[in-house]
Amino acid sequence: MRQALICPIVVYANDKPYNAPRSFWELFEDSKTAKDMMGDEYLLVDLQKQSDDEIEKKKHLGMMEYMLKHIKARDILNLWQSLLEKFESSIEIDKENGYIYIKWLLWYSDAKVSEDKQVELASIIAKHLKKEDQEELMRTIADKYIDEGVQKGMVQGMQIGEARGMQIGEAKRTMEVAKNMLSNNYSIPEVSRITGLSISELNTINLTNKKDS
């Protein structure tokens, strides 16, 4: 597919004289390297033509590339399990960076994970983290799914008032997250710390879970 041409135009309205370089390449510290790098063929990283072993050698960066390559896999939980096993040594590096890759991969793969599998995925990931980091991860995941409830609530809010709609969406999603966590054998105090729900609320949810099962 051919792209349309983009004409570089700067509209300047400051009362001081315009004194920036008019050549795009002169805006860079090393204009020659910039022109060679950006004016020639772009670098192509074709992940489908790389073996998993090649990607694994890239360590931390390989985590992202591995997920990108296999995101269309039917069993996303199995994909996560495989990724965490292959890049076990890179998880410590990711920890030093605030688990930035694991959090990004969670967001990226979210559409492939059904609601009833979300807590199971969190459990799979948690097994590869140190004990002190597991609760932070669960809180990150819970916050993410609660945020989704807020977004749904905003749609409802158009009919019943935006603030009220957001509150309903957040409360409903928090309950769903708590219910899933309890179904996956997380303790009530643990779920309370992560979701912010009271012990009595969680006891009620837990009782409902047992009746439904």
pLDDT tens track for 123-135: 888 888 877 777 7
Give 59-123 as a DSSP string.
Answer: THHHHHHHHHHHTT-S-HHHHHHHHHHHTHHHHHHHHHTTSHHHHHHHHHHGGGS-GGGHHHHHH
Is there a domain that residue 22 lies in? no
Q: Answer whether residue 171 is part of any domain.
A: yes
- pLDDT tens per residue across span 143-156: 666 565 544 444 44
| Per-residue pLDDT tens over the stretch 17-31 | 999 999 989 999 999
- What pLDDT score was predicted for residue 145? 62
Say yes or no to pLDDT of 81 above 60: yes
- CB-based burial label for 63 (10 Å; 0-12, 13-18, 19+): buried
- What's the CA dihedral at 130, 191, 85, 103 to 10 degrees? -90
pTM for the model stands at 0.63
Number of domains in the chain: 1
In a domain, 77, yes or no: no
**pLDDT surpasses 70 at 168:** no
Question: Does 168 reside within a domain?
Answer: yes
Cα separation of 64 and 62, whole Å? 5
Distance CA 167, CA 48 (A): 44
- Residue 186 forms part of a structural domain: yes
Q: Give me the pLDDT at residue 159, please.
A: 46
Strand, coil or helix: what is 53?
helix
With a pLDDT cut of 90, the percent of the chain lying above it is 31
Q: Bigger pLDDT: 7 or 163?
A: 7
Q: What is the pLDDT of residue 37?
A: 87
Q: Does pLDDT of 58 surpass 90?
A: yes
For residue 159, being part of any structural domain is answered with yes
Is residue 192 included in any domain, yes or no? yes
CA atoms of 197 and 153, how far apart (whole Å): 19
Domain containing residue 141? 130-213
Residue 163: inside a domain: yes
Collapse the DSSP code of 13 into the 3-class scheme (helix H, G, I; strand E, B; otherwise coil) and give the result.
coil
Residue 162 is which amino acid?
E
Residue pair 156/170 in contact (Cβ under 8 Å)? The answer is no
pLDDT of 158: 42
